[in-house]
């Protein structure tokens, strides 16, 4: 026997099995018990929330012999009796020519729809009530809507309409106002997970709690989607459906991998971000799927934080916003992987704190040492101005560095440097007196030597000044200092 899809087998057989829509099953049970059913229902809700299943249950119940008997006796019915599924009418329902179902979204011609609707004027062949179940009613053509409208306004005897839609705003007001509206809710994740566990028991397969939760979260309130996912995982699993099975079968990124990426971003650890993203890519997932999974995971974290009454969401919101933006950029870009990687790397960038300049820092600029070195140097040089040969050598020297207790003097000419070296010890002693501490001198020779003040200029000012200095051979300019 061919395998029957879960979502066909998992369909509710009675109102008591309608999962997650208790407000509807309760109201319908009361209406059936007191024989106050309407002849036109508009079933509104997201896909997979039970609209068509409910329509079938109602259509069946309207024809159920036992329901009918209870109504005649004035006996209140229980949900599990609606319908009975055992009487002749119930057993014949699935193949009954008196139940007409069609999906307005599929490509039916206007003629087809009109012909089907025209049978409403014919008496039912065997059933008590002739039933029409029309899915995605908002997709019907203008003519078809008008035919339905006529039928609902002046209904032929023993006809009932069940119009299902995912988009209430596209259903004309004229239809809405003539129908009893049933609003289907998204089914809570916990309810879906619990029902999946029941189904797994029926399939005689184990289902990890975490796996059930993951499928339920993925189904986003749709029981039909949840059952389809479970079916797919069941086909691939052995004796137990594990979280790993779910991730593999449905092509999902594991929570551990997601958490790794999130923790790495939070820790501003770019290397770890790179490793975690590479791992995600290596499992063959598309960048947008990873980004969407990250957003879902971050939303879960946000909900957890809300439950713990935490209030600082700025970092999370920033993370989610950046991912959302990156998904937008990915479409049609050709480099979605790089976009995701760059987004995460940017998020993991170290925080650039702006430090307000304080007076203490003004008195300690980065070139403090050089300035101090120059001051000591010129002060000492002036004190030795009587020594002509030394003065000449000093006039050609440039203070290029002053670090620790070493002052570096630069000369363009080796000869002048040697001239200076003759008096180096004398100069060092004089400098120790000026500075009140011992300072050594290191001599360097470089014919292209420039004073630091010139080196610090922005281009093209620096090049212009260097050219000018060469042109004039103005060694004295070398002494300029700001």
Q: Which residues here bind Zn ion, judged by CB under 5 A?
A: 64, 66, 83-84, 87, 90
Q: Which is nearer to Zn ion, 84 or 144 (CB)?
A: 84
Q: Which is nearer to Zn ion, 67 or 200 (CB)?
A: 67
Nearest distance from C-beta of residue 93 to Zn ion, angstroms? 8
Using CA atoms, how far apart are residues 397 and 408, in angstroms rounded to an integer?
10
Give the CA angle between residues 375, 377, 381 to the nearest 5°.
120
Q: Residue 268: phi, psi to the nearest 5?
A: 55, 35
Q: Which is nearer to Zn ion, 93 or 427 (CB)?
A: 93
State the number of CA atoms in the 13 A half-sphere of 53 facing the CB: 26
Q: Residue 180: phi, psi to the nearest 5?
A: -80, 120
Place of tokens 């979260």: 217
Nearest distance from C-beta of residue 81 to Zn ion, angstroms? 9
Q: Which is nearer to Zn ion, 14 or 228 (CB)?
A: 14
Nearest distance from C-beta of residue 130 to Zn ion, angstroms? 17
Q: Which is nearer to Zn ion, 61 or 273 (CB)?
A: 61
Q: How far is CA 255 from CA 176, 215, 383, 415, in A?
A: 44, 13, 75, 73
What per-residue string of b and e applies to 340-373 under the rule 16 or more CB within 10 Å gives b?
bbebbeebbeeeeeeeeeeeeeeeeeeeeebeeb
Nearest distance from C-beta of residue 53 to Zn ion, angstroms? 17
Nearest distance from C-beta of residue 135 to Zn ion, angstroms? 24
Nearest distance from C-beta of residue 61 to Zn ion, angstroms? 8
Nearest distance from C-beta of residue 67 to Zn ion, angstroms? 6
The CB density around residue 117, as the number of other CB atoms within 10 Å, is: 20
Contact 207, 35 (CB under 8 A): no
Contact 339, 277 (CB under 8 A): no
Query: 95: which DSSP letter?
Result: G
Using CA atoms, how far apart are residues 429 and 421, in angstroms rounded to an integer?
13
Nearest distance from C-beta of residue 83 to Zn ion, angstroms? 5
Nearest distance from C-beta of residue 85 to Zn ion, angstroms? 6
Contact 441, 407 (CB under 8 A): yes
Contact 254, 242 (CB under 8 A): no
In 3D space, the residue among 185, 182, 233, 181 whose CA is nearest the CA of residue 212 turns out to be 233
Using CA atoms, how far apart are residues 163 and 210, in angstroms rounded to an integer?
37
Nearest distance from C-beta of residue 5 to Zn ion, angstroms? 25
Q: Which is nearer to Zn ion, 14 or 374 (CB)?
A: 14
Nearest distance from C-beta of residue 221 to Zn ion, angstroms? 31
Alpha helices in 368-422 (DSSP H): 368-383, 388-395, 414-422
Helix axes 287-307, 255-266, angle to 10 degrees: 80
Q: Which is nearer to Zn ion, 84 or 441 (CB)?
A: 84
Q: Which is nearer to Zn ion, 39 or 66 (CB)?
A: 66
Token pair of 449 as six digits = 């030597």
Token pair of 430 as six digits = 């004089």
Contact 148, 102 (CB under 8 A): no
Using CA atoms, how far apart are residues 475 and 395, in angstroms rounded to an integer?
9
Q: Which is nearer to Zn ion, 92 or 305 (CB)?
A: 92
Nearest distance from C-beta of residue 254 to Zn ion, angstroms? 47
Q: Which is nearer to Zn ion, 90 or 454 (CB)?
A: 90
| Residues 6 or more apart in contact with residue 37 via CB below 8 angstroms | 31, 58, 62, 160
Q: Which is nearer to Zn ion, 25 or 400 (CB)?
A: 25
Find the length of the chain: 482
Q: Which is nearer to Zn ion, 99 or 254 (CB)?
A: 99
């Amino acid at each position: 026997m061919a395998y029957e899809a879960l979502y066909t087998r998992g369909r509710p057989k009675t109102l008591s099995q309608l999962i997650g829509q208790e407000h509807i099953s309760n109201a319908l049970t009361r209406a059936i018990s007191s024989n106050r059913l309407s002849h036109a229902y508009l079933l509104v809700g997201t896909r997979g929330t039970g609209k068509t299943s409910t329509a079938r249950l109602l259509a069946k119940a309207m024809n159920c012999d036992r329901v009918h008997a209870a109504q005649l006796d004035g006996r209140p019915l229980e949900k599990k009796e609606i319908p009975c599924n055992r009487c002749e009418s119930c057993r014949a329902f699935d193949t009954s020519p008196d139940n007409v179902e069609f999906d307005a979204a599929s490509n039916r011609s206007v003629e087809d729809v009109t012909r089907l609707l025209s049978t409403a004027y014919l008496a039912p062949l065997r059933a008590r009530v002739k039933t029409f179940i029309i899915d995605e009613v908002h997709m019907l053509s203008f003519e078809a809507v008008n035919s339905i409208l006529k039928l609902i306004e002046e209904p032929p005897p023993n006809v009932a309409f069940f119009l299902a839609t995912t988009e209430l705003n596209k259903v004309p007001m004229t239809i809405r106002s003539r129908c009893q509206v049933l609003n289907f809710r998204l089914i809570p994740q916990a309810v879906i997970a619990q029902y999946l566990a029941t189904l797994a028991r029926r399939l005689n397969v184990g289902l990890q709690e975490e796996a059930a939760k993951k499928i339920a979260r993925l189904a986003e309130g749709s029981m039909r989607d949840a059952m389809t996912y479970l079916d797919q995982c069941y086909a691939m699993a052995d004796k137990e459906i594990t979280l790993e099975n779910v991730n593999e079968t449905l092509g999902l990124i594991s929570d551990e991998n997601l958490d790794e990426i999130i923790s790495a971003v939070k820790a501003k650890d770019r290397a770890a971000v790179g490793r975690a993203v590479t791992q995600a890519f290596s499992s063959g997932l598309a960048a947008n799927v990873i980004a969407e999974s990250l957003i879902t995971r971050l939303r879960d974290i946000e909900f957890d934080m809300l439950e713990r009454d935490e209030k600082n969401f700025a970092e999370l919101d920033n993370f989610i916003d950046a991912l959302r933006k990156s998904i937008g950029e990915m479409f049609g870009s050709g480099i979605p992987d790089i976009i995701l990687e760059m987004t995460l790397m940017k998020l993991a960038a170290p925080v650039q704190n702006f430090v307000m300049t304080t007076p203490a820092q003004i008195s300690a600029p980065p070139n403090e040492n050089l300035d101090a070195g120059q001051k000591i140097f010129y002060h000492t040089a002036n004190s030795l101005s009587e020594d002509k040969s030394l003065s000449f050598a000093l006039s050609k020297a440039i203070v290029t560095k002053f670090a620790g207790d070493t002052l570096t003097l630069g000369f363009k000419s080796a000869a002048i440097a040697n001239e200076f070296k003759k008096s180096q010890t004398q100069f060092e002693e004089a400098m120790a007196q000026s500075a009140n501490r011992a300072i050594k001198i290191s001599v360097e020779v470089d014919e292209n030597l420039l004073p630091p003040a010139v080196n610090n200029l922005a281009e093209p000012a620096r090049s212009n000044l260097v050219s000018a200095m060469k042109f004039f051979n103005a060694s004295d300019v070398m002494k300029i200092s700001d």
